[in-house]
Amino acid sequence: MASEPRAPRTFDELQAELHRRGDKLTRSQRLLADRVLADPEGVAFMTVSELAAAVGVNEATVVRFATSLGLDGYPGLTRLCRERLREQAQLLRRYQSLEQLGSDGGDLLERTVALDHANIARTFARIDPSAWEAATRALAEAPRVHVMGLRKCQAPAQLLVYLLRLLREDVESVTGAAGSLTDELRRVREGDCFVSLAIHRYSSDTVRAASWAHRHGARCLALTDNPASPLAASADHVFYVDSAGPSVLRSLTAFTSLVQALAAEAARLRGHQARSTLLQEEDLLHAFGVYTDQPDGP
């Protein structure tokens, strides 16, 4: 007789289990899972009735959801969320002053700098070392790398493409321009690396493309904003990027820092191969006079 699956003992295990169940979740369970993944701090102190009202289900559905995961009812679910909150407490205290500055009135420039400091710090503090090692090795060693980020994520996606192309060949930018998405995805092979970038609101083309690449055997990396992101479900490795800004505009500063760090580590892993590619690039730049060494005359 098969043994019952072990109940999640940490929030990370809970997150992994919810992603594993994926499409098997009912609509009500999916709503609850998305809320727990996106806002564990809030769920940690919600009553059953408050969570039920927040996602539009009844209280019995919330209890059944928690029990189906092997937890000790709703208290077991909130316990894992509170443990996650305690894990983050030190980081939250460390940047409390920066967040306070960002939420107060005052100088826009000062608030922008403060928020971006916090965005970068939180983004890098959440990186799992084993995921980092596996992801950067895929960027350095996969037969081909495909990168896709649309709309507000187009800029960091193109930066990653540019930096990786300095280090290696076979780096593709997936844009879906002029209806070419299916043509571009046809070049994705098993064992390739597929990088997707998206934050709320998530581009549907990016989500569909990442899911397709995952199903066809590509090693998928996602740069996104929270565990409830649809990109997380189809990614082998996920990096969560903070993007708080001082106005309605989202900040891409942490995205840029993360992309540069990924490319730098890929360069280190490629070693002499990266050096050879960079030297060839320099020879071409010199031969074609791409840059001028002297300022223009009067």
| b/e burial code for range 19-54 (CB count within 10 A of at least 16 → b) | beeeeebeebbbbbbbbbbebbeebbebebeebbeb
- Condensed to tens digits (0 to 9), the pLDDT of residues 221-240 reads 999 988 888 898 889 999 99
Give me the torsion for CA of 270, 271, 272, 273, rounded to 10°: 10
What is the domain extent for residue 169? 124-286
- Condensed to tens digits (0 to 9), the pLDDT of residues 52-102 reads 998 899 999 999 999 999 999 999 999 998 887 776 654 555 455 445 544
Whether pLDDT at 278 is above 70: no
| One domain for residues 149 and 239 | yes
Of 127, 120, 91, the residue nearest 265 (C-alpha): 127
166: tokens are: 């300095």
81 lies in a domain? yes
| One domain for residues 253 and 182 | yes
Cα torsion angle, 257, 269, 212, 27, sign = negative
173 lies in a domain? yes
First to last CA, the chain: 87
| One domain for residues 194 and 243 | yes
| One domain for residues 40 and 182 | no
| One domain for residues 52 and 187 | no
pTM for this prediction: 0.70
133 lies in a domain? yes
296 lies in a domain? no
- Given the structure tokens 């002029």, which residue do they identify? 178
CATH number at residue 249: 3.40.50.10490
| One domain for residues 46 and 129 | no
